[in-house]
């Protein structure tokens, strides 16, 4: 394979994995904010929606179609429904960290395209393979949470990161 094509594939796979990673995080956040919980009284509580005062807490619907809020239902909607992934005290799903990952990925893609030297290619490979490990952990997490769409996205991102790592290794050998 010509080096120019390898360089193009490497940069494109890095950009594609970054874009899909960002979409996956956004979808996971949106899904976590708009969850539906069945309350002990048999009603349904929708969290993540704004009430008339702009507060997040949700509403409860009884079996008769009338809205009612009992203390048990309010307590149920106020509890957090999920936990963000935390590793070494860092929230892995914070938008700040997602931004850092996106900037780093874009910087590596640019560096691969503009200066495809061995150190840049090696760093790109290490970066891609490290994130593939996190992606595979995310696949496992989404399987346990029964989120089929997010499982598919995380699996595709993991495969893209593995492909990026392989292309970077090939690039180091050719360069």
> What's the token pair of residue 131?
């994130």
CA dihedral 82, 87, 92, 97 (to 10 degrees): 150
- Express each pLDDT in 84-109 by its tens digit: 667 677 777 788 989 999 999 999 99
**For the chain, what are the domain ranges?**
3-33+84-174, 37-78
Task: Tell me the per-residue pLDDT of 23-42, one tens digit each, with 9 for 90 and over.
Answer: 999 999 888 776 554 445 45
Average pLDDT over residues 73-86: 47
Predicted local confidence at residue 93, as pLDDT: 74
Task: Give the Cα separation of 77 and 24 in Å (integer).
Answer: 25
For the question of whether the overall pTM of this predicted structure is more than 0.75, the answer is no
Cα–Cα distance measured from residue 34 to residue 126, given in angstroms and rounded to the nearest whole number: 36
Q: Which residue has 């595979």 as its token pair?
A: 136
Report DSSP letters for 34-84, one per residue: T-EEE-TTS-EEE-S-B-TTS-BS--EE-TTS-B---HHHHHHHHS-----
């Amino acid at each position: 394979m010509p080096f120019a094509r390898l360089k193009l594939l490497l940069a494109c796979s890095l950009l594609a994995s970054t874009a899909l990673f960002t979409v996956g995080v956004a979808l996971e956040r949106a899904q976590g904010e708009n969850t539906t919980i069945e309350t002990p009284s048999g009603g349904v509580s929708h969290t993540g929606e704004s009430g008339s005062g702009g507060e997040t807490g949700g509403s409860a619907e009884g079996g008769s179609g009338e809205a009612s809020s009992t203390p048990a239902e309010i307590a149920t909607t106020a509890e957090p429904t999920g936990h963000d992934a935390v590793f070494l005290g860092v929230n892995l799903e914070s938008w700040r960290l997602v931004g850092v990952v996106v900037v780093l990925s874009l910087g590596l893609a640019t560096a691969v395209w503009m200066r495809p030297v061995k150190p840049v290619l090696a760093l790109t490979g290490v970066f891609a393979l490290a994130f593939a490990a996190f992606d595979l952990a995310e696949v496992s997490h989404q399987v346990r949470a029964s989120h089929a769409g997010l499982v598919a996205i995380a699996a595709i991102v993991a495969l893209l990161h593995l492909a990026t790592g392989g292309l970077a290794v090939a690039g180091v050998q050719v360069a």
